[in-house]
Structure 1
């Protein structure tokens, strides 16, 4: 099958397109279909962007720039990488994700909007997974502004071959939405919009934050001291509702030691391998948004 002959639906996530094409192909199993198009991936998660799978799908489709912007969450991840993921850059598979799925308070499974599902079934005869519904920590539809849904049995991996209309039952991703969470989501959407239209601005935020917080130093003990100084202000600025929503550690009734997000990012003696989820950097930018000119 020549993937270049097929077009993604509006804002269809790349992995949703791969799954949908498999269902149209007549192949007996998903992995055999993948091998036929030069892909082999059993882990198709909503925010997995650094992989040969994503790279090959982007390469197969006609307009690389449009594909990255309209059919993936790649632009937001420029904030974590600290550099522009250029339209000619074919190095997505050279980066690695950190294993962070269990660190967040918000749901990380695949999300869908009821109205989008209904509209898509009428318009296209099928539903599909929208890329913007998968932006980390976002809980409302970018089109209808209604609360997004997650499966009662969460769809964590599209290798299970499930499109939205095939999910048996849904729950809202959030049952109570506070003003703090609304403000946060607006900020995430704002950063995502900038990542599409001014990628150099988003890529530079990471470096500006490091400079602003005085963390551009080599000494680990000095960085740790700075993190200990700043972390209470970071926690206070986000507030208890938002910080629990973002970081799961703050929801635990008992903690082994005190949670310090800044220390985990900048002063961890066990240096983590891979690229952090951009939500860490978005949270820091939200705290420092006035100084960054992002109000």
Structure 2
């Protein structure tokens, strides 16, 4: 394996992240992570923010992901640098924030032999990530390039869907870590600019019938922090006459269906006894 192989694979990986929807990445200093950092920086579809400290980078990425509701990548070098990302990874898991954690690592032959900047990074964050994968960076064959593109797609959609959360990919990188020649073209990308792995869109819901009693009974929508598309949710509730109890952090406390001061109403037993819903739809964290 040469530096050209490493950079070809990582270029394809970052290209695929951008095609999926990654728009921001946070980088930190370190020699082992150089190929990842340079590949992210050279990807025109991703805006990179350089940080001197891993904790700062990770919490910046966490805030950016919260604001954009899209996964943000954060990368660091090997060893205890990766451990410094743990607080933000745990918070992302608890708050259901999509985060893509890309840690550089020593190759297997440099583990458990006293090499510097080396710790056990396999499943470093335990159950605080939705998915962990050790990425083998080998020869950049067409099959390997196609594989790493599918891997980028899976990492992105795992972070986004489900509830959202962090995904950890660990990259054991061998020297040389810098490139001294131009990279050849990569024919494995889709010519139309779409991701390598295409997802089928969810089925369209049945058309709304407008305000009035629902055949399933009395409905109620409860929206918490992290509610997807809060503006459309508020409009949907208003169109269909469904009461909406929206936490301020949901962004959905707006429109004719939003109930102001609902916390006071819910403390009144006389009101709750007479307005008990048959079905409650909960979105986000409450």
Flag whether TM exceeds 0.5 (same fold): no
User: TM-score normalised to the size of structure 2?
Assistant: 0.29
Q: Name the structure with the higher helix share.
A: 1
Larger radius of gyration: 2
Q: Name the structure with the higher strand share.
A: 2
